[in-house]
């Protein structure tokens, strides 16, 4: 085992991550230590860096789409082996006692810890994680291709379930999550309508290449009324826009952890039993379900790879929408 680890560390909000040498970390009795092979970059990392989430903890190593192999293991850990490939997601710890944990809604736990936000994450050569929240990934698929499944895929999956089983599904914001979810929705026999930033023809083409039946700007109306819409973009103006696009009784699901202000809108957009919901975090059950399905669906993730030390460039490119699909850091 190495005696040090290297990480891209957020030391001050709204400033670049800094390449930092840190002392090696040993796993606690309920933890595993993972040699990071790949870590996805998520919009939530931008919200962490920008100080848009409450109670930021600094310094912090961001990154919550970790794929790696266990290289040290705590004495209480059962069911995981040294050398096994695992994925570590956003939800990094729950209390197990609160009403939400007791009620199978651990995603809403009163005392949670989140990887890359309140627990050090995967923009590093190694990470320590609560073993109960490490998902075995098996040996199918490359580390790089699996990383985006750990948040973009998982949160997308929970959003899709909450959107209901309507056939006509709108996706607002066609980034890492939507590019995975479009493949899942199509596999389920749904029709996907992809909405991008107005004029972003390249992303509209990308959406059609993944099976979207229609792609256009978020300022356009879809050709069919939608049964449900999921908003991945962190843009509050899209809430009334999406409500306008769904039929009576339809659902609009906000999938992001942060969104700009939602403008006032007239009640008739919500009237007729339209529903507006949000999705927060994930449960381990979501993870197990989705990771079991992913190989059956044959999801192909489109990734842009960056060396770990170029994490700041990856964040800048994500902010600017400069790549299709998902960015992945490789140590
Ligand atoms: Zn709890
Ligand atoms: Zn995420």
| Site of tokens 């994490």 | 311
What average pLDDT does range 145-150 have in this prediction?
A: 97
The contacts of residue 61 (CB under 8 Å, 6+ apart) are 7, 8, 9, 10, 116, 120, 121, 122, 123, 124, 127
Do residues 14 and 128 both lie within one domain? yes
Ligand 2 ion: Cβ-proximal residues, 5 Å cutoff: 42, 44, 151
| Per-residue pLDDT, 55 | 87
For residue 43, report the distance from its CA to the centre of ligand 2, in Å. Answer: 6
Burial of 290 per CB tally in 10 Å (0-12, 13-18, 19+): buried
Do residues 24 and 129 both lie within one domain? yes
Do residues 12 and 92 both lie within one domain? yes
| Site of tokens 């990480």 | 7
Do residues 210 and 183 both lie within one domain? yes
Tens digits of residue pLDDT in 6-20: 999 999 999 999 999
For residue 226, report the distance from its CA to the centre of ligand 1, in Å. Answer: 35
Do residues 170 and 241 both lie within one domain? yes
Q: Looking at the domain assignment, is residue 144 inside a domain? A: no
Tens digits of residue pLDDT in 274-309: 999 999 999 999 999 999 999 999 999 999 999 999
Do residues 17 and 134 both lie within one domain? yes
Which CATH number is 174's domain given?
Answer: 3.40.50.720
Tens digits of residue pLDDT in 78-112: 999 999 999 999 999 999 999 999 999 999 999 99
Do residues 134 and 158 both lie within one domain? no
| Per-residue pLDDT, 56 | 82
Pairwise CA distance, residues 203 & 173, whole Å: 10
Residue 108 structural domain: 4-139+301-330
Q: Looking at the domain assignment, is residue 58 inside a domain? A: yes
Q: Looking at the domain assignment, is residue 210 inside a domain? A: yes
What average pLDDT does range 200-216 have in this prediction?
A: 97
Q: Looking at the domain assignment, is residue 122 inside a domain? A: yes
For residue 113, report the distance from its CA to the centre of ligand 1, in Å. Answer: 10
Do residues 182 and 65 both lie within one domain? no
Do residues 112 and 34 both lie within one domain? yes
Q: Looking at the domain assignment, is residue 184 inside a domain? A: yes
Do residues 133 and 159 both lie within one domain? no
* Torsion angle in degrees (nearest 10) through CA of 11, 12, 13, 15: -90
For residue 166, report the distance from its CA to the centre of ligand 1, in Å. Answer: 32
For residue 271, report the distance from its CA to the centre of ligand 2, in Å. Answer: 32
Please state the φ and ψ torsions of residue 26, each to the nearest 5 degrees.
-95, 140
For residue 182, report the distance from its CA to the centre of ligand 1, in Å. Answer: 32
The answer on pLDDT for 39 being more than 90 is: yes
Q: Looking at the domain assignment, is residue 284 inside a domain? A: no
For residue 89, report the distance from its CA to the centre of ligand 2, in Å. Answer: 8
For residue 115, report the distance from its CA to the centre of ligand 1, in Å. Answer: 16
Ligand nearest to the CA of 93: 1
28 vs 1, more confident: 28
Of 260, 66, 37, 266, give the one whose Cα is nearest residue 149. 66
Do residues 159 and 135 both lie within one domain? no
**Number of domains within the chain:** 2
* Token pair recorded at residue 70: 């266990």
Q: Looking at the domain assignment, is residue 147 inside a domain? A: no
Ligand nearest to the CA of 95: 1
For residue 328, report the distance from its CA to the centre of ligand 2, in Å. Answer: 12
What average pLDDT does range 155-160 have in this prediction?
A: 96
Confidence class for position 3, pLDDT limits 50, 70, 90 = confident
Q: Looking at the domain assignment, is residue 250 inside a domain? A: yes
Which CATH number is 91's domain given?
Answer: 3.90.180.10
The answer on pLDDT for 2 being more than 60 is: no
- DSSP code per residue over 297-314: HT----EEEEEGGGHHHH
Do residues 256 and 308 both lie within one domain? no
Ligand nearest to the CA of 234: 2
Ligand nearest to the CA of 43: 2
């Amino acid at each position: 085992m190495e005696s040090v680890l290297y990480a891209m560390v957020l030391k001050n909000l709204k400033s670049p991550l800094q390449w930092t040498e840190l002392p090696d970390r040993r796993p606690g009795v309920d933890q595993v230590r993972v040699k990071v092979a790949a870590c996805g970059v998520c919009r939530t990392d931008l919200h962490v860096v920008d100080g848009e989430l409450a109670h930021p903890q600094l310094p912090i190593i961001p990154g919550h789409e970790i794929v790696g192999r266990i290289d040290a293991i705590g004495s209480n850990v059962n069911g995981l082996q040294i050398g096994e490939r695992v994925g570590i997601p956003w939800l990094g710890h729950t209390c197990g006692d609160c009403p939400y944990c007791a009620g199978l809604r651990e995603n809403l736990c009163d005392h949670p810890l989140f990887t890359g936000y309140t627990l050090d994450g995967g923009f590093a050569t190694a990470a320590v994680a609560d073993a109960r929240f490490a998902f075995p990934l098996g040996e199918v698929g490359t580390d790089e291709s699996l990383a985006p499944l750990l948040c973009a895929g998982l949160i997308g999956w929970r959003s899709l379930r909450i959107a209901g089983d309507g056939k006509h599904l709108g996706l607002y914001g066609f980034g890492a999550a939507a590019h995975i979810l479009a493949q899942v929705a199509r596999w389920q026999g749904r029709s996907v309508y992809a909405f991008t930033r107005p004029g972003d023809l390249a992303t509209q083409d990308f959406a059609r290449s993944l099976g979207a039946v229609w792609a256009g700007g978020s300022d356009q109306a879809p050709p069919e009324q939608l049964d449900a819409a999921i908003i991945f973009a962190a843009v509050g103006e899209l809430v009334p826009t999406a409500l306008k696009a769904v039929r009576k009784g339809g659902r609009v699901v906000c999938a992001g952890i942060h969104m700009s202000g939602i403008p006032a809108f007239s009640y008739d957009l919500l009237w007729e039993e339209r529903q507006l919901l949000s999705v927060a975090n994930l449960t381990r059950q979501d993870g197990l379900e989705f990771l079991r399905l992913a190989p059956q669906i044959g999801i192909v993730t489109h990734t842009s790879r960056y060396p770990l030390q170029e994490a700041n460039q990856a964040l800048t490119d994500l902010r600017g929408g400069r790549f299709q699909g998902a960015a992945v850091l490789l140590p």
